[in-house]
Chain A
Amino acid sequence: MWQFWQRFIHPGHLNRQGVMGMNRRNIAYIGRYNPRRLFPLVDDKLKTKRLALAAGVKVPELLGVIDSQHDVRRLAQLVREAPGFCLKPAKGAGGKGILVIIREQGGLYYKTSGQTLTLAELQRHVSNILAGLFSLGGASDVALIEGLIRADPVFDGYTYEGVPDARVIVFRGFPVMAMMRLSTAESQGKANLHQGAVGVGLGISSGQAVRAVQHDHPVRLHPDTGKDLLGLKVPQWGELLKIAGDCYEMSGLGYLGADLVLDQQRGPVLLELNARPGLSIQIANHQGLLPRLRRIESLENTDRLTTEQRLDYAREHFR
């Protein structure tokens, strides 16, 4: 009986550590700092991309957009020149519906896992996207074709078959917490923590790993490659943080999650924005978000600062 209760942590304990729960996040942060009318800009990856291009924020190359069923036939033509590409639903949430093709050979398209798909299967995937299979509430959608991201080789051995991405929580332009999401065999090459990807908490000041978790439990070594996760240090950290910080003025959302990847050639690049970022980042960092958020809330006139000034503050005060 006692063992049952031992699986729970006392709420007072969580309170002292400043851990934020869903209810508080929804009411006090998302409800308060994210105007609802701005959500479509962020839920729709195409709109986010256009915003980013206008604001000068680096994003993956856009090869084409398919927005109607009869355009699906153009798919092969659009991707013919590219060595690899990524099919994405514009309104997909949580990584749903993303198809990454690393090369085409003899009429077959190869996924990162080595699995092959025919053109017909690709077109069916696009049809599904258009019909709204991956969008919230089944609303009809458009398909984006983006250029392939090649991960910086510094991440070799840290992930299994996928491009690792960094999630940064940005509060009123200040990066408050960050983590790296590494795909595993269990997550089938997807950086989805719920499906078994590894989350590595990153210190804001340096981009160095502080802790790693899988399924919310601490791990030290990558389950598939065996590499020591705490040796991870993200290069070009300052530039990455700057892009994340710029997203505040670009989108107007006070509490957002920015997903970035490190491209081999272009450096840090913004993948997408999230108006309702999850709470596992706290477990990955072994830290509650609330003390940092409240510290920023206690500052005045933060909107007058430049992105650099906010970054400096964050790097100084948040380990």
Chain B
Amino acid sequence: MASRAPFFLLVALLLIAGGALTYYRHHAFDVPWLPGDLRRIWSIEAKVEFFAGGEAVKASLAIPDTQPGFQRLSEHSASPGYGLAFIDADAALGQGRRAEWSIRQAEGLQTLYYRVDMLEVGGRELGAPLPPPLDLQLEPEPYASVAAQMLQGATARSADAYTLARELIGEFNAQEQRAGLLLQRQTRLQWLVALLQQAGVPAREVHGLLLKDGRRRQETVSYLQVFASAEEYQLFDAQSGQQGRPENLLLWEYRSGSILDVMGGRRSRVSFSMIQQEVPLQQLVQAIPEHLNPLLNFSIHSLPLEEQALFKGILLIPVGVLVVVLMRILVGLKTSGTFMPVLIAIAFIQTSLLTGLLGFISIVGVGLIIRSYLSRLNLLLVARISAVIVTVIIMISLFSVLAFQLGVSEGMKITFFPMIILSWTIERMSILWEEEGPHEVLVQGGGSLLVAVLAYLVMDNALVRHLTFNFLGLQLVCMALVLLAGSWTGYRLLELKRFKPLAQPLPDMKGK
């Protein structure tokens, strides 16, 4: 075998390169080591897509402004060939801020991007809200009288604007038949707004985004905004009646307008991606422009947001792999497959640990039972595996529907589990069961799960996420550590337990 020197040279090179890059980035761009004392910026990207018919196109997107809890820092847009204008809010027209794209002629699928950076600021004081003017519309029968009944009932049990809103929502929840009739005409939110206005309470539908780091392809959520006076309002959840504004809600469109209007195009839709960044105060103050030499910068921040969000997840994988390597080589835990615990850990990150763990164990358990039945059908191996995959998909769908019906919204996140991994796990576990018995299944399956949980705990840590996303040099360091671990010839922790019988001297026996 070749001498060990080139190997250690490689490892040293990787460590030096990784360390140097990391240190340079920290020093030159002032990226702090800890995610601690920083300002949080949310970058939100709206992707507008529609099909143009070959004529002139004008697209108008609602865009947010500084609001309680958020301060608008900057906005950009990418839309080659289009004219773009940002139109300010117009109190008189009752219109919020909008971005307007226009082009003389366009055909086919069009994609427009709008990106805004919002700084999270403390204080939940309400800004200068603008209650909508009362706009009474007459609804036709039989809707009008049914609606009037609902309103009457709610009014009787309420004392002011907020309690009225709450009671109205309660009415919609309680009186299912009447609500069902009304819902044929327009949505619940639209009814709530109309009825409140009828009662003299200014109200409107507002659309916002629930901000979570790394979310992609999100849609807006709608809330009911109810004004008690010209300066005071509250947000209500139209389904539950819960009063109050969720911590991470960014209001996107809140002036009774539409989110997206497209003239000259059809099948238009808008989806949102968001990413959270932590930026030291100085960088904010100096307002360093982002178009530095990206090569030297070595940062992911020059990529579009959707890709950045994806990368935040991908960059964690080497850390997870390192955990698996250390567990197998240093501790000696048996896993079924080398990469599987990392994939399971990634799924746990999506589903949250407890739900993921319970879901995984129950699906694999049921899958094992089903597979043992399939094995009696005397099929060829490949057909069996495929049948298991289909069964797993059916099971997951059933679980999700069941969870939804029972009101356990967490259960629906089971769909995040990679299908193929689940089926493959079930297949491996059942073969293991047939050959080595249930004990080995527990050992290897348990080992894989334990390592997956450990990898999850490391990968979900805020410091780890901060470091891996901001310092690409650490990937090289991870690689060096993995290589080093692979060359370790010492004992595994579990071997110290296994070889314990060798501690006692050989008892005196006949012969040798």
Contacts from A to B (Cβ < 8 Å): 7-11, 13-14, 17, 19, 21-24, 27-28, 31-32, 96, 124, 127-128, 131-134, 138, 194-195, 203, 208, 210-211, 213, 216-218, 230, 282-283, 286, 288, 319
Contacts and interface: CB of A to CB of B under 8 A. Distances in A.
A7 B500 contact: yes
Contacts of B489: 21, 23-24, 27-28
A282 B511 CA distance: 19
Contact of B496 (A8, A31, A194, A319): A8
Contact of B499 (A27, A138, A218, A283): A283
Contacts of A216: 498, 501
A14 B502 contact: yes
Interface in B408-446: 431, 435-437, 440
B382 interface: yes
A23 B380 contact: no
Contacts of B506: 210-211, 286
A31 B468 CA distance: 33
A297 to B, nearest CB: 13
B96 to A, nearest CB: 59
A19 B498 CA distance: 11
Interface string B477-512: 000000000011111110111111111001101111
A23 B486 CA distance: 9
B329 interface: yes
A6 B440 CA distance: 25
Interface size class of B (residues with CB under 8 A): 20 to 34
B332 A203 contact: no
B378 A14 contact: no
26 contacts: A7-B497, A9-B497, A9-B499, A9-B503, A11-B490, A14-B491, A14-B499, A19-B502, A21-B489, A22-B332, A22-B492, A23-B488, A23-B491, A27-B489, A32-B1, A127-B380, A131-B381, A132-B381, A133-B381, A194-B440, A210-B509, A218-B501, A230-B510, A283-B502, A286-B506, A288-B502
Given A14-B491, A24-B489, A208-B511, A9 B381 contact: no
B496 A11 contact: yes
B435 A96 contact: yes
Given A22-B332, A131-B380, A211-B506, A195 B512 contact: no
Given A14-B496, A31-B1, A195-B437, A21 B502 contact: no
Contacts of A195: 436-437
Nearest to B500: A9
A187 to B, nearest CB: 10
B431 A133 contact: yes
A286 B502 contact: yes
B382 A131 contact: yes
A288 B506 CA distance: 13
Interface in B354-399: 378, 380-382
Nearest to A133: B381
Nearest to B494: A8
A208 B488 CA distance: 36
B512 A319 contact: yes
A210 B503 CA distance: 17
Contacts of B1: 31-32
B378 A282 contact: no
A23 B490 CA distance: 6
A66 to B, nearest CB: 15
A211 B492 CA distance: 25
A131 B379 CA distance: 10
B381 A283 contact: no
Given A32-B1, A208-B511, 18 more contacts: A9-B499, A9-B500, A9-B502, A10-B496, A11-B490, A14-B491, A23-B489, A23-B490, A23-B492, A27-B488, A28-B489, A131-B380, A133-B381, A195-B436, A216-B501, A230-B509, A286-B502, A286-B506
Contacts of A211: 506, 509
Contacts of B381: 128, 131-133, 138
Contacts of B380: 127, 131
B259 to A, nearest CB: 51
A81 B382 CA distance: 34
A21 B491 contact: yes
Nearest to B440: A194
A226 B511 CA distance: 20
Interface string B262-303: 000000000000000000000000000000000000000000
Contacts of B512: 203, 208, 210, 319
Q: Which 8 A-B pairs have the closest CB atoms?
A: A131-B381, A24-B489, A21-B491, A8-B496, A9-B503, A9-B500, A32-B1, A21-B495
A213 B511 contact: no
Contacts of A218: 501, 507
Interface in B71-101: none
Contact of A8 (B378, B382, B437, B500): B500
A179 B265 CA distance: 80
B468 to A, nearest CB: 28
B501 A19 contact: no
A216 B504 CA distance: 13
Contacts of B501: 213, 216-218, 283, 286
Contacts of A11: 490-491, 496
Contacts of A32: 1
A305 B467 CA distance: 58
Contacts of A210: 506, 509, 511-512
Contact of A23 (B329, B509, B511): B329
Contacts of B490: 11, 21, 23-24
A113 B57 CA distance: 82
B496 A9 contact: yes
